[in-house]
Structure 1
Amino acid sequence: MDINDNIESPFILKVSFNKLLNQYEELIRADNDFIAANARRVLKIAEDNPILREGFSDVSLFQTYEKEIAGILQDSFSPILSKNEIKTASIPFHNVVFNASERFKSIIKTAGEDFKLEIKNIPEDQTYIIACTIILGFCYGYDLNFKRPFFYEIPDAKGVKRYYKILYNADFTEIVPSADAPKITDKDYEELLDNFENIELWKEKFPPHSYNFKGFVISNMFDVTDDQSISNIKSSLIGEAKRKDESFMKNFQNIFRSLLGLNDIQVGFSIYNKRDDTFERVYGAGMNSFLLNNLETTQCSDALCKWSYNRLLKEKKYFSVSDVNKMFEKSEGQAPHVKILMDQGIQSAIFAPIANDYQLLGVLELVSAKPKVLNSINANKLEDVMPFIVSAVERSKKDEENLIEAIIQKECTSIHSSVHWKFAEEARRYIKAEMNTGVTPTFKKIAFDNVYPLFGQIDVKGSSNARNSATQKDLALQLSLVEKILDQTIEDKSLPIYEQIKYQVLEFSSGLNENFKVDSEHDITTFLKEEVKPVLQLIKDTQPFIKEDIEDYFSKVDTDLEVIYFYRKHYDDTVKLINSNMSSIIDEKQIEAQKMYPHFFERFKTDGVEHNMYIGESITKQDSFNMIYLYNLRLWQLQVMCEMENEYYQNQNEYPIALDVASMILVFNQPLSIRFRMDEKRFDVDGTYNARYEVVKKRVDKAFIKGTEERITQKGKLTIVYSQKDDEEEYVRYIRFLQSKKVLNTDLEYLELEDLQAITGLKALRVSILYHENNDDKVFYTYDDLMETIKS
């Protein structure tokens, strides 16, 4: 087999000892007779075997000339140091070793028959280019300083990975261009400087097999497992994305195994919560805590004994338990951390505080199923890695705080991405002004002029009546249970106070059915808490035969509200579910809409979901706004409202109670200005004229059709409120389009609204929505058809 087979390289490789032999020719003339005699011995081997000077590429000749090669390399591989030095003679860019020290042979033998020697950190596709950079230095004098540390990763007898750094001696190599090798010019060199990864360019300048390489390299290796393990720990801890990967903890444990030379240890973490003085689980793929075992969190005083608590939290020093069984017996099972280790089959452990100068951040846990393998002596090895773990945890906590703030901002005080640039711009100005003047500046008004508003809502129809009905049912149920208990009580022992309470119960029950007012709920709830509850507690203590009924009564009463919360809970849960589902739909659809053209968007949860949108050039910060984008967004809004209605009715059976919803869109055809109100942390219209828009938004869904007692919004219908003829014509076009798509029905109504306070001339288009059983269903139904289908 030829060493040049199956490898693409700019070299034609030949193993030759010519340059080494040349040095021995000089040593013949040495004054030292022993050195001169040894030189003659080496040269005699070469003279008898001229191929060793000429060079060869046939791998089988290594075996043929094994003794001769060893004789030539005897001085380089001293027998005295052979069991100590890790040294090889090899072919560059090959993992072919033809002479080695005894220690290297022992290391390879221990690694096992299946082990394949490979340099770990040299990418295959870069081997060709590295060879070219060597040529640039050898043949043309361009020093590119491309020296990088290379490593072998070799397992020891325990299976623990050990790292060996390779130092090359290339003094005995010769590189000569072949006759047809292109000559490298300064221009070529300058071009190559900026194109390291362009393999085709390098092959053009250095074609395959265009340079003759004669010689060999000597590699000296050093065990750098500790240094490399520390480096690997640093690399592993850089970047949040790595820690989310499932293989992170497995690799992290392997690194610690290499560092400590132990193959059966496991690594765990606990985070310290200073506010609550608790240890908490670290969330991430494969993360574990041996202090917590199966718990999510625990008090530090419950997880540690008094001494270990003081050691970790006060002194911020590590401690070890080298023999868990022995310590368990010594502590009589009273040390919590020892007991929890016993429960997990752990026999030795090290607990190291992850702490900075100010506070404990968490605990690093190293554990083993074998006794004595982890102890206070090898715990000292952690001194070199703890600073990197501390740094990573500090960064992680900071990232978590930033994430929490981001979530709070998103959920509570959201600044939409479309306008974020304006806030960032002002924040930069604020910081610059503060740094330049040393005085706290004023945060300027954030406003956007000439933007077009869009408003829509999908609202629970008759929400007040539905909630009142649920409240009446809950209160009526509770009063009836009280009446039943009082009847039994009075029959056994008639006291005037019981009669009076029963009279009040009957009065409230009658009032619920006949005249339920706004303050009725408060009055009855107060009566049940302050008057009925103490009486029932007395009856429970004095008349044991009624005890079971009274306990049943209190089991039905909500412990926080102290009233029965059954029907109202169904109502509240339904409204929450409607809000959540409808919000998620429009949020998801918004992602698509933003791609069409960026615009401001916000939504609010009430008894349903409202949304505001503003679109215009001042928001996008580009000279790209066109009215087409506004028209497109209006049509998108119509479609999404219909989709939300369909989604609701398709899944109505999943809601605790059946409620109806009604949808409305408000059209405002004039651009307006909006500004961010710092006190309310939200955008609002700016200026007195524009305030009319906000008034209409708040009142219009309660408006009546002119001359009637009928609300403008109705279940099963989409209502579009507007004031200008142009708006009517635009939306009729959209409606016709959606009718052709079987999204809307053909019963379009043109309506006028009763005048609102200080607002006149509003009109509305109202049209029935067509419903489908699912998103793929081509059959459509009116609202009445849908209700019939659901009932059947």
Structure 2
Amino acid sequence: MQANTVNYLFNTENSLINCSMVVNACSLILNKFYGMELEVEPPFAVSIQHEGQPMERHYKLEFDTQYIDIKLLKPLKPLSQEQINGMLSNIYDTGLWLKHLPPDHFEFHGFVVGNLIDITAEEALSRLKYRLLERDAVIDEANIINLQTLVRNYFGLPKLRLGLTAIDYPLDHTSTHKYKIRFDFLARREKALLAQKNKNSIYEKACHYGEVLLIEDLQTVPNATPIEEALLEEGIRSIIVAPLFNHDKHVIGLLEIGSPQPYELHSFVELKFKELTGLFSLAVERSRDEIDNRIETIMREQYTSVHPSVEWKFMEASYNLMEKREKDPKSAMADPIIFSDVYPLYGQADIVSSSERRNQAIVADLSDNLSRVLRILDKGIQLSRYPLLNHFRMITERNLNGLKKEFNSNDESRIVDWLHSDVHPLFQQLRENQTELTGHITNYFNALDSGLGIVYRERKAYESSVAQLNNAIANYLTLQQKEAQKVLPHYFEKYKTDGVEYDIYIGQSLLNKGRFSMLHYKNLRLWQLIDMCEITRLVYNMQEKLPVPLTTAQLVFAYSTPLSIRFRMDEKQFDVDDAYNVRYEILKKRIDKALIEDSDERLTQSGKVAVVYLQDKDRQEYLEYADYLLHEGYITGEVERLKVGKLQGVQGLHALRFTVKTA
């Protein structure tokens, strides 16, 4: 019979082992000759592996020193308590110990009994804790294999298999590999463990009930799902599955152990298994957080802000880019983000005559500013002979007269530049040299806006009114969107200009989960009309509170042909994709200034909602909606049926227009 080979390894460095032997021997001397009561225990363990066996056993070494006697060969060296304390404070300084207790002064007789205490489970658990603290502990497959070895040692089961996967329950992501943790038993067979076809499987039940589940023999499971059948095909007969939770108590992963032997996993194994779930939960959560941070960095870098309804798509693209960068950092490029066959809805609440109102405010402020300049120039001319004052007076009068006749944007910049570069330096000099003008000039500068250096009253009041109106409309739309998104997620983006305009896209390709139907589209169209009526009322009720009363005209573009949208990396926003779909954008931008055919009347009017359409079916649909709005008291009077005048490159547009009931 051939004897088996045994491999052993001390789990401590040789230098520490030698140090321990010296200190333990000296401790026995201190106990016998100096009245100390020190424990003599070797601080190291030994690992033993039999040849041909896959598992290591770990043992703690204990000494029994009762069979040792120490004889004194030379006179005992006196030691003070201070010297002994110094030795105990420096146990790694063997030179100090041997200096106070010279080896040639003592002789040991007898023998030491060494006991090996099995600490395999404790050692395996300790190593598991250490390994799970490493950054890529649960991401790299080689690390999972190492963890499996430790788990086998922990349970003492050499054929045990370890499985681990990151999930979200309830499932929010189509990409189960998003966190790069997919090492479950069925990783190569099942795209998603929690897919609908796997309902009531052991995995789904573990997540649903939030408990550890044990199946001692998979062949005896009643009403087995495809998951249990697949596990049997993978050679698993006995299995324990546990959900892993984050600090918010959400399921973020699944941990499993399996055995090819039925009943090898039982309730006692389950008790020990529960000790591991907390460790793996922390490791999975940390790895998920790290990957989330990396994906978020890529999203900010590549896409800036992202609407919540399509965030899932950007996360998938960011994850794919992260993997590409790991393989080939130089040539990695982000995947294009395209949503096909989506239905658009466009709307705007435009401030009526905004350009004229803004220009009127600018002219009023510039005229006020120039009049104040003129008064100071006249006072200066009366006080002294200063020809430049007369020259500036001439320019001031010309500018004032010009503002009364006609105004364009160049006039504003030209006059403001002249005030800053010529007039104000002159006034600063006059304030220092002409004491009679000091007070007047100081009052002039006090009347100017501190940031702009010009009179800014009328325009400030106008801009304040625009801002209040925009914020009120935008806030209303934001609140309505929260409710609309609950019905079916869709893309929404609003823009503030002189009023608020917005784009909505809805369709199956935008959905991470759920099913789109044309009823959702029609519901959103009606919802949009109701919102436009409410916005009209909102603006009407704000008139008395605004510094400058303003009104809005509401416009809706009914375009029922599905199109594709693409995220433009250069502009960091969505736009229609391909030449055919560009027609929608052209139409959308040009109907804003449209006139009614054969007239000078603008299609959009204060207090009204205009719906521009191309197809007769849209006319009929919106007439039905208008009938509902009339019945519910949103609108009043007759619905106007209009033909839109020719626009550049656009013809054949029609419109419905109705008056909103505001009181």
Q: Which amino acid aligns with 2:637?
A: T
Q: Secondary structure at the match of 2:637?
A: coil
Matched, 1:577 2:468: yes
1:727 is matched with 618
1:665 is matched with 556
Distance 1:664 1:409, change over 3 A: farther
Distance 1:674 1:479, change over 3 A: same
Matched, 1:520 2:411: yes
Give the TM-score taking structure 2 as reference length.
0.55
Match of 2:339 among 438, 445, 448: 448
1:619 is matched with 510
Matched, 1:494 2:390: no
2:441 is matched with 550
Distance 1:643 1:631 in 2: 19
Match of 2:650 among 759, 763, 768: 759
Match of 1:713 among 590, 599, 604: 604
Distance 2:468 2:210 in 1: 58
Q: CA deviation at 1:652?
A: 2.5
Deviations 1:544-573 (CA, angstroms, capped at 9, x unpaired):
112111101101112322211111111111
1:536 is matched with 427
1:424 is matched with 315
Q: Secondary structure at the match of 1:453?
A: strand
Distance 1:196 1:654, change over 3 A: closer
Distance 1:622 1:196, change over 3 A: closer
* Aligned pairs for 1:430-509 within 5 A: 430-437=321-328, 440-509=331-400
Q: Secondary structure at the match of 1:666?
A: strand
Q: CA deviation at 1:659?
A: 1.0
2:496 is matched with 605
Matched, 1:414 2:299: no
Distance 2:319 2:433 in 1: 73
Distance 1:711 1:522 in 2: 30
Distance 2:654 2:502 in 1: 21
* Aligned pairs for 1:101-112 within 5 A: none
* Aligned pairs for 1:244-643 within 5 A: 413-437=304-328, 440-622=331-513, 624-643=515-534
Distance 1:676 1:558 in 2: 41
Q: Secondary structure at the match of 1:459?
A: strand
**Runs of 4 or more consecutive aligned structure 1 residues displaced over 6 Å after TM superposition:** 194-198, 238-241
Distance 2:532 2:510 in 1: 24
Give the TM-score taking structure 1 as reference length.
0.46
Distance 1:239 1:561 in 2: 52
Distance 1:758 1:409, change over 3 A: same
Distance 1:532 1:459, change over 3 A: same
Aligned residues: 382
Q: Which amino acid aligns with 1:458?
A: A
Distance 2:644 2:319 in 1: 48
1:32 is matched with none
Q: Secondary structure at the match of 2:603?
A: coil
Q: Secondary structure at the match of 1:714?
A: coil
Distance 1:402 1:651, change over 3 A: farther
Deviations 1:463-491 (CA, angstroms, capped at 9, x unpaired):
10011000011001111111111111111
Distance 2:605 2:335 in 1: 44
Matched, 1:750 2:641: yes
Distance 1:512 1:437, change over 3 A: closer
Q: Which amino acid aligns with 1:605?
A: K
Q: Which 5+ residue runs of structure 1 have no aligned equivalent?
A: 1-193, 199-237, 242-394, 772-780, 782-792
Deviations 1:163-221 (CA, angstroms, capped at 9, x unpaired):
xxxxxxxxxxxxxxxxxxxxxxxxxxxxxxx99999xxxxxxxxxxxxxxxxxxxxxxx
Q: Which amino acid aligns with 2:414?
A: D
Distance 1:739 1:417, change over 3 A: same
How large is the RMSD of aligned CA atoms in angstroms?
2.9
Distance 1:438 1:525 in 2: 51
1:54 is matched with none
Distance 1:542 1:647, change over 3 A: same
- C-alpha contact 2:340 2:563 (8 A) present in aligned 1: yes
Relative contact order higher in (CA < 8 Å, ≥ 6 apart): 2
Distance 1:452 1:479 in 2: 53
Q: Secondary structure at the match of 2:450?
A: coil
